[in-house]
Amino acid sequence: MIVRELEEARSGERLVKSEGWDSTRLLLAGDDMGFSFHITRLFAGSTNTFEYKHHFEAVYCISGEGTIEDHGTGKTHTIKPGVMYALNEHDRHTVRTNAGEDLVVACSFNPPVTGQEVHREDGSYAPPGEAA
Amino acid sequence: MIVRELEEARSGERLVKSEGWDSTRLLLAGDDMGFSFHITRLFAGSTNTFEYKHHFEAVYCISGEGTIEDHGTGKTHTIKPGVMYALNEHDRHTVRTNAGEDLVVACSFNPPVTGQEVHREDGSYAPPGEAA
């Protein structure tokens, strides 16, 4: 059994920071669960575009509010606590976080993130085994 | 892109109820994400023993407090918001929820749950393809 605590993990290598967000990887590929599990904060007032060409991702909103724009359909959905979105078609998407409060989400990735990826310019992570 | 909302999902077939807990399956095997994703409420004051012999499960505490006892080591860990536990060795475990407030957790399962499983007497789910 693995037991990890978010605030403790945020003080170490499990925390990855970017301009508009940070993400704490509570489970990574090396944990051999078949998925990785992250707690991600999208900063208040930020706009972030992602496209995980090589991963499936599910995102569940714990706190905060915002919107997600699906580039494929042009539709925009509200994100608030209790809403989950799943990128089952590697959907390119833009998350806009309302001002005043970070959007805190729980994320599962398949295949699991190794912890070595960086976001490429196209908003994706490299597939496993390929250099970032 | 799949977008689902917890309270809406709780009014349909995605909600599974047991004596000490209920679980809302926001993603199931049929969503083809490679994992399932559930929001589970362990009722205030309840004691529940599980052993997922055929699944890996990660559990992240969103709200509420309790403990998890690892039957393999005899150790007990505190569960509170921010704590994640992962059953990477199919660990038999008992979750005790404090009185006064349900324990609300986000769970990822690999392989994904189909939605047809029932908990067996030993606390497990059947493996995929085998009758419950």
Q: What is the mean pLDDT of residues A26-48?
A: 98
Q: What is the pLDDT of residue A132?
A: 47
Residue B19, chain A, CB below 8 Å: the answer is no
In this prediction the pTM is 0.92
- For residue B132, name the pLDDT band (cuts at 50, 70, 90): very low
pLDDT digits (tens, 9 = 90+) for B60-97: 999 999 999 999 999 999 999 999 999 999 999 999 99
Tell me which residue of A16, A32, A27, A38 sits closest to B85, measured CA to CA: A27
Residues from chain B that touch A66, judged by Cβ atoms under 8 A, are none
- The CATH architecture to which B21-110 belongs is Sandwich (2.60)
Q: What is the pLDDT of residue A122?
A: 72
User: In this structure, what are the phi and psi dihedrals at residue A56, rounded to the nearest 5 degrees?
Assistant: -95, 140
Q: Where are the domains of chain A?
A: 21-110
Quick one: chain A helix, strand, coil %, rounded to 5? 5, 45, 50
Residues from chain B that touch A110, judged by Cβ atoms under 8 A, are 33-35, 110
- Residue B37: closest C-alpha in chain A: A58
Residue B78, chain A, CB below 8 Å: the answer is no
Quick one: what percent of chain B has pLDDT higher than 70?
A: 93
Rounded Cα–Cα distance for residues B26 and B24 (Å)? 6
Q: What is the mean pLDDT of residues A82-99?
A: 97
pLDDT digits (tens, 9 = 90+) for B48-59: 999 999 999 999
Terminal-residue alpha carbon distance, chain B: 30
